[in-house]
Amino acid sequence: MKLKLPQNKSLDLSFTKVMGTIVLYPEDSRSIEEIVELAHSFVRSGAELLEVGTKKTDFNLDDVDESRVCCVVEALIKELSVPIAVNSDNPSVIINAIKLGVSMIITSSGLDSEEAIKAFKESEAVVCIHCEPSERVDDDTDVVSLISEFFYSKIDSLLNSGIARKRIVIDPSIINASVNSKLRLIGRLESFRSFALPICVGIPRQLPLEDVLLKENRTLSLTAAVFCASDKAVQIIRTTDVSEIAIAIGFWQVMSAKTKPYRLSKSIVRRLRTLRDAIRGLGKNNHITKREN
């Protein structure tokens, strides 16, 4: 399976890809250069796509300024060759991102706007639709049915607007849900194969890290979630934990005979050397500090 992208690019989805997630906060003091360097580090660690999204750490804060989002997106498109996605429900942000040349829009309701859907139709970008229920999903709710109904509605709306089915990706991951609902959803990801569309999922976004056991065993939780997602035919994993996820996917691909072992070995050795150098640098700095004291 291949996903067609703007500028005659395509993404081979025969095995799981990693999308590095860059989150912008209202109180974020990082420079554009620092964010670009983070993006480069994600690509070096194995990300084949990048996502720019926004998040509030305090509901009393204003949203991230639209111009900052656009400046970051523009810099990433200029500096990197990998496809760039924007995660937003703001029609204005979506329209400007499309003008800048993003490859994917990740949204729940952003294309409900006539202006946004018009701009999207005139582009070659892909849309990844995901469900963000206004009310918390509790243990009594059939989370798969809830998300499936949302997808049916959104897909019909997009198709009726003239958007080709080949430009649609679905993301069933959900934040506002109970621990059990999130875990059940991971276990039933294969249910969404019936849509016959590429599937994307956010990890650790989908992990219920408010659960103490999962939070204290984060690496193990991430690895288990990756193996489960890959086995359920998830084509794209969105994550801030790029290096860990990429290595886990690499091992899974070899074990499931989806890639050649030497390609994995080369990739893992490169990443482990980077980690080793970072640890050595930290140890050296600590040694110097002790001597000075």
Return the CATH number at 82.
3.20.20.20
pLDDT of amino acid 8 = 87
**293 and 178: one domain?**
no
Same domain, 130 and 274: no
Same domain flag for 230 and 293: no
Check: CB of residue 209 under 8 Å from CB of residue 218: yes
The answer on 164 and 71 residing in a single domain is yes
Per-residue pLDDT of 167-195, as tens digits, reads 999 999 887 888 788 888 888 888 999 99
Do 269 and 245 fall into the same domain? Answer: no
Examine the domain organization and report whether 247 and 268 are in the same domain. no
Query: Which pLDDT value is given to residue 204?
Result: 64
**Same domain, residue pair 281 and 250:** no
Give the pLDDT of residue 288.
Answer: 46
Residue 212 and residue 287 in one domain:
no
Q: In terms of domains, do 77 and 12 share one?
A: yes
8 A C-beta contact, residue 138 and residue 179: no
**How many structural domains are present in the chain?**
2
Query: Could you tell me if 233 and 272 lie in one domain?
Result: no
For the chain, which residues score pLDDT lower than 50? 58, 60, 262, 285-292
Dist. CA 33–CA 36, nearest whole Å: 5
pTM: 0.82
Same domain (yes/no): 190, 274? no
Q: Are residues 230 and 147 in the same domain?
A: yes
What count of other Cβ atoms lies within 10 Å of the Cβ of residue 219? 10
Domain extent at residue 278: 263-293
The length of the chain in residues reads: 293
